[in-house]
Amino acid sequence: MEYKYSNDQKSLTKHDIHLVGVFSDKKLAHIDGVVSRESLDNIKRIIKTCNFSGKIGDHRTIDDFQTKKQLLLFGLGEKKKYGPLVIKKTLMQIFRKLLKTNISTVSITVDNLITSNKNEVTLEMIISSVENSKYEYKFKNEKDQSKIKTVSILSNKKISSKRFNEMLKISLAISNGISLAKELGNTPPNICTPTFLANTIKKLKSKYKSLKIKIIDEPEMKRLGMGAFLSVSKGSKQPGKIVIMEHMPVKSQNPIVIVGKGITFDTGGISLKPSPNMDEMKYDMSGAGSVIGVMKACAEMNLKKNVVGVITSAENMPGSQASRPGDVVETMSGLKVEILNTDAEGRLVLCDAITYAKKYNPKYLIDIATLTGACLVGLGKYPSGLFANDQALANKIKTSGDKTGDRVWQLPLFDDYFDELKTNFADIQNIGGRYGGAITAAAFLAKFTVDIKWAHLDIAGTAWEVGPNKGSTGRPVDLLIDFIRSN
């Protein structure tokens, strides 16, 4: 789709349909002058007689006989609750419906949509939300049916063409990063293997010259002493890989390092998972998918920040070479780990990658992982779990979560949880007790981060949706990009 910006309200007549957001107070001052006086009076009557509530999800299509075009009023809910979550959800629902029609040109008034308060809604966010609505999983044998060619942004505020093009570039980069993360998450596990992820990254490298990549294969892992990672990958015929993506345009700037868990399929290993919903374990690489999406976006927008993405990719399978409960392995850090549950494998691949990533002397290190079902039980499918060894870092992540609507909720890392990881047979065991599993998993990772500013995002509840809309969400790409741009 082509995006245009105009403060000429007369351009409304050039479009098939015009979108107007209305809060539950039903005030229409923002479209005074957009439509004719007769049409405005007609809209007021229709709102009253059709009982248009302005609630989220409510919409009415109205013919403007003066311009011979259609208006689509859509509800924004209460003004005090309006923010990123509302606008993203609303625009994506509307455009997904419009994309199935024969409409080719759309315009939207944004003056009452953009805010500058705590729940900030930006033009970039609006464009990326519209663009995100286009995403469909590409592996299906269906052609793109979208007929929308142009989306025009109408506002009373003047913006130079240069500034709008800059904002558009950023918006599309964010959307493309989210779409890539979704596509990787939705790809079947017989296709999306560790090698497939590595090849995907190689293709990005050929497109974006700012990216440098390094692939660490299993023989090099063995040389580096990554016994924890290898204990997971050795059960599968698919060789594990760690892939490093560097976007380092600024000299003498410590990078932000993001590390993603990339278990392309998680059977649980010898500690086999129950069979119901096991197909969803293809999403266990969503942390890695989000990192790849972020790195694509950073390169595409030519971001002047140093960022390093680390992908920890393996397949967790049972087999004659698979790890057993009771095995003890040595990590790259030198700490020895007793494996009591082979389904607690994400922390094993991550701990070696975190140790390796310290070589970059990161300003911040954030790992992203579908780490524990316990996080889903505790928080549901709305916020991601947040853990950190530095409160200032945690606060920055929470700010980005609020700004983007990609919410997080911080959980504690009290010393008591670390006590649950003690064992008689190694330095640390890979699971805690029955309760607080998300926290003891984070505590395990924290043992490898004592000398860096570190945060962990558990996205087990937020990385994919179930039900009729089953599929990858692309979270937390939006949050991470905002964090990197802001810090």
Position 159 in a domain: no
Q: Are residues 282 and 383 in the same domain?
A: yes
3-state secondary structure of 421: coil
> In angstroms, rounded to a whole number, what is the distance separating the alpha carbons of residues 193 and 195?
5
Q: Are residues 205 and 264 in the same domain?
A: yes
Q: Choose one of 154, 182, 209: the last residue of a domain.
A: 154
φ, ψ at 263 (rounded to 5°): -80, 105
Cβ-count burial 423-456 (b if 16+ within 10 Å, e if not): eeebbbbbbbeeebbbbbbbbbbbbbbeebbbbb
Q: Are residues 303 and 376 in the same domain?
A: yes
pTM, entire model: 0.96
Position 372 in a domain: yes
Residue with tokens 């790809």: 187
Position 139 in a domain: yes
Counted domains in the chain: 2
Position 161 in a domain: no
CA atoms within 13 A on the CB side of 450: 4
Q: Are residues 177 and 149 in the same domain?
A: no
Q: Choose one of 125, 154, 183: the last residue of a domain.
A: 154
- Residue 169: name the closest of 206, 137, 138, 123 by CA: 123
Q: Are residues 150 and 217 in the same domain?
A: no
Q: Are residues 76 and 218 in the same domain?
A: no
For residues 12 and 26, the answer to whether their CB atoms sit within 8 Å is no
Active site residue 273: yes
pLDDT tens for each residue of the chain, 487 residues long: 899 998 876 655 678 899 999 999 998 887 777 677 777 888 888 888 877 889 999 998 888 766 667 889 999 999 999 999 999 999 999 999 999 999 999 999 999 999 887 778 999 999 999 999 999 998 766 666 678 999 999 988 889 999 999 999 999 999 999 999 999 999 999 999 999 999 999 999 999 999 999 999 999 999 999 999 999 999 999 999 999 999 999 999 999 999 999 999 999 999 999 999 999 999 999 999 999 999 999 999 999 999 999 999 999 999 999 999 999 999 999 999 999 999 999 999 999 999 999 999 999 999 999 999 999 999 999 999 999 999 999 999 999 999 999 999 999 999 999 999 999 999 999 999 999 999 999 999 999 999 999 999 999 999 999 999 999 999 999 999 999 999 9
Cβ neighbours of 359 (radius 10 Å): 10
For residues 474 and 184, the answer to whether their CB atoms sit within 8 Å is no
Beta strands in 267-383 (DSSP E): 307-316, 328-330, 336-338, 364-369
* Secondary structure (DSSP) of 194-239: HHHHHHHHHHHHHH-TTEEEEEE-HHHHHHHT-HHHHHHHTTSSSP
Q: Are residues 446 and 477 in the same domain?
A: yes
Q: Which domain holds residue 287?
A: 172-486
Q: Are residues 373 and 477 in the same domain?
A: yes
Q: Are residues 110 and 33 in the same domain?
A: yes
Strands 336-338 and 364-369: unpaired
For 142, 292, 377, the CA distances from 279, given in Å and listed in that order, are 23, 22, 19
Position 165 in a domain: no
Could you tell me the CATH number of the domain that includes residue 91? 3.40.220.10
> In angstroms, rounded to a whole number, what is the distance separating the alpha carbons of residues 187 and 262?
13
Could you tell me the CATH number of the domain that includes residue 216? 3.40.630.10
Position 385 in a domain: yes
Q: Are residues 183 and 223 in the same domain?
A: yes
Q: Are residues 180 and 128 in the same domain?
A: no
Position 160 in a domain: no
Q: Are residues 62 and 206 in the same domain?
A: no
Position 163 in a domain: no
- Catalytic residue, from 273, 336, 358, 453: name it: 273
- Catalytic residue, from 241, 261, 282, 347: name it: 347
Cβ-count burial 52-64 (b if 16+ within 10 Å, e if not): bebebebbbebeb
